[in-house]
Copies of this chain bind each other. A is one copy, B any other.
Amino acid sequence: MAKNSIFYPVILAGGRGTRFWPLSRKKRAKQLLALDGKQTMIQQTVARLLPLAPVKQFWVISNEDLRPAILKQLPKLSKTQVLAEPAGRNTAPAIGLAAFLLLRENPNAVIGMFPSDHVIADEKRFRETLARGIQIAASGENIVVIGIRPTRAETGYGYIEAGSSEDGALRVRRFTEKPDAARAAEFVTAGNYLWNSGIFLWSARTLANALHEHLPKTASLLEEIAGSFGTHKFSAIFRKLYPKCENISVDYAILEPRSAKGEQAGNIFCLPADFGWNDLGSWTALHEHHSAKSKPPAGNLISSAGVCVVNAEGNYIHAPGKFVAVVGVSELIVVETDDALLITTRQQAQDVGKVVKYLDEKKLHRLT
């Protein structure tokens, strides 16, 4: 498929991933860490998409802090393929810029938008699902979203309400942002709700039209930026105009109003994923993911130079250079780096972002 592919993967890699502090830092965000295996998250993201498109058709959108490390980690990509937003403007302007850039190059291009920090267990199945999605996105004004069958009443994700089925794809009835616990439980029970994976497919034309319709001012700005691409003015125009774009997600800006047109008129299709998806949203999620794979004794996942476990279970300890002794503790998360030591619990690990917020406030930049 890769040769003469109409598929253009756009990888969004501007996130900071503060919940993986102290391992993640501004210049070494979650997607640049090897949290699962030897390759980093972004290297895995590119590697699993490479069979679907030639490498020159990849784009990465990130920021100035991360761009040098990304170029180093992805040596096959040229400098022009890795864009650094002059200011973070969420997913709508980022993917929108890609749409206007590609519209000039190949109006039939199908753009895939991908987070850069997720885990996919079955890559073959992943690519089969995408191939089907690219087909759907290539015909007409369709938008395709990959949905994940919920396994728990998670309140941290957006949900997709699915309607009728059409050739294995589900028509999307509605997008619902992060629900409270009670609604999340209802969604899971209802059976026709899926998690929003953040993976979307659409033609450059569909996306550009949708932006003009729902986000006209930002669309014009992006069109102007894209018009200067390849010229010596690009950098200056990008810096000047991009920060003027609306700071809004593609879900809010396009998918919600589009789905409001109705299940038929919206033309949004959901492909349920069955390829083992995990967004590794926290140290706890990482612990669970690795434990499921390696089934360590007593659930203690410890990376260290040596270990002594006395009456301890369910702990995640990362202290690569040290001999680690755990005595009578359970469900802890402890992460050590050259300059920092995090001590929390599996239950509280989602609050690690608060530490980074504190460090930002105190301007302790060398630690963030």
Which residues of A in the span 341-368 have a Cβ within 8 Å of any Cβ on B?
Answer: 341-345, 347-349, 351-352, 354-355, 358-359, 364, 367
The SS class assigned to the A binding surface is strand
| Whole-angstrom CA separation of A147 from B350 in the bound complex | 51
The answer on a CB contact under 8 Å between B323 and A341 is yes
A322's nearest neighbour on chain B, judged by CB, is: B341
CB contacts under 8 Å to B, within A306-359, are 306, 308, 310-311, 315, 317, 319, 321-329, 332, 334, 336, 339-345, 347-349, 351-352, 354-355, 358-359
Assess whether B334 is in contact with A343, with CB atoms less than 8 Å apart.
Answer: yes
Q: This chain: how many copies in the complex? A: 2
**Of B319, B324, B341, B345, which one neighbours A325 at CB under 8 angstroms?**
B341
Closest residue of chain B to A355, judged by CB?
B325
- The residue in chain B whose Cβ has the minimal distance to the Cβ of A21 is B325
Q: Any chain B CB within 8 A of the CB of A22?
A: yes
Partner of A310, one of B336, B351, B367: B351
B308 touches A355 (CB 8 A): yes
The verdict on A189 contacting chain B, using a C-beta distance below 8 Å, is: no
Besides A22-B325, A327-B343, 19 other CB < 8 A contacts? Answer: A21-B325, A22-B323, A306-B364, A306-B367, A310-B348, A310-B355, A311-B351, A323-B364, A324-B340, A325-B340, A325-B343, A327-B344, A327-B345, A328-B351, A329-B343, A329-B345, A332-B343, A334-B341, A336-B336
- What are 13 A-B pairs at a CB distance below 8 A? A310-B355, A310-B358, A311-B348, A323-B340, A323-B341, A324-B340, A325-B341, A325-B344, A325-B352, A326-B344, A327-B345, A329-B343, A329-B344
Interface residues of A (CB under 8 A from B): 21-22, 304-306, 308, 310-311, 315, 317, 319, 321-329, 332, 334, 336, 339-345, 347-349, 351-352, 354-355, 358-359, 364, 367
